[in-house]
Amino acid sequence: MAEHIGSTLKPLDFYRNRESDSSSVTSIEGGQVPPKVIDDLIDNKMYRRKFNALIRKGHLQDLLDLAEVAQGKDKPSHWFARATRTTPVPGNENKPTFWDRSLKFLKRLRKVRHIAREIGQRLKVPANSEKAVFKAAWRHDERAVQMAVTAAETGRKHPFGLFCAIAFKSLATQAV
């Protein structure tokens, strides 16, 4: 009877069987890879997990926007790594992390882009002067739209020139 029981039982695999060992290879590089724009800015590929976690939390568009801003910097990968730092700097544990500050910056950047589009709809902006509109929108927020409306209503020949005069001359008079 003992022979019959022993022959029907298979040897126990306590943790894994050999078939699952070859199919479940895990490594640091394994798993999902962030989009190429973001991945190109990651110098140390061991940090891909951090970016994948941020993407899973719903910050893909934030990362893409930061990657776009980073392209205009001197050292894009260094700036991007610093902007996405999620741990506090030693000695500054009470202050917001760089990631928190970046999210706040992106919120303001999106608002300024929206204001600049509104100004562009109200005024005929020359192609080489888009940065001036963006600068005025960054400095004045919603008041820049009011300045554009004033310039469009009163500036008959050159409303954009009047807008620039209002937006940038008003700062000089306020400082005095």
**Least-confidence region, from 70-74, 108-112, 163-167:** 163-167
DSSP H or E stretch at residue 42: none
d(CA 66, CA 85): 12
Count of domains forming the chain: 2
23 pLDDT more than 50: no
Is residue 111 domain-shared with residue 75, that is, in the same domain? no
Segment 145-151 mean pLDDT: 92
Is residue 176 domain-shared with residue 113, that is, in the same domain? yes
- pLDDT interval class at 10 (50, 70, 90): low
Domain presence at residue 57: yes
Is residue 129 domain-shared with residue 168, that is, in the same domain? yes
Amino acid identity of 47? Answer: Y
The confidence score (pLDDT) of residue 158 equals: 86
The residue segments making up the domain with residue 48 are 29-84
Domain presence at residue 101: no
Is residue 54 domain-shared with residue 113, that is, in the same domain? no
Whole-prediction pTM: 0.72
Is residue 129 domain-shared with residue 69, that is, in the same domain? no
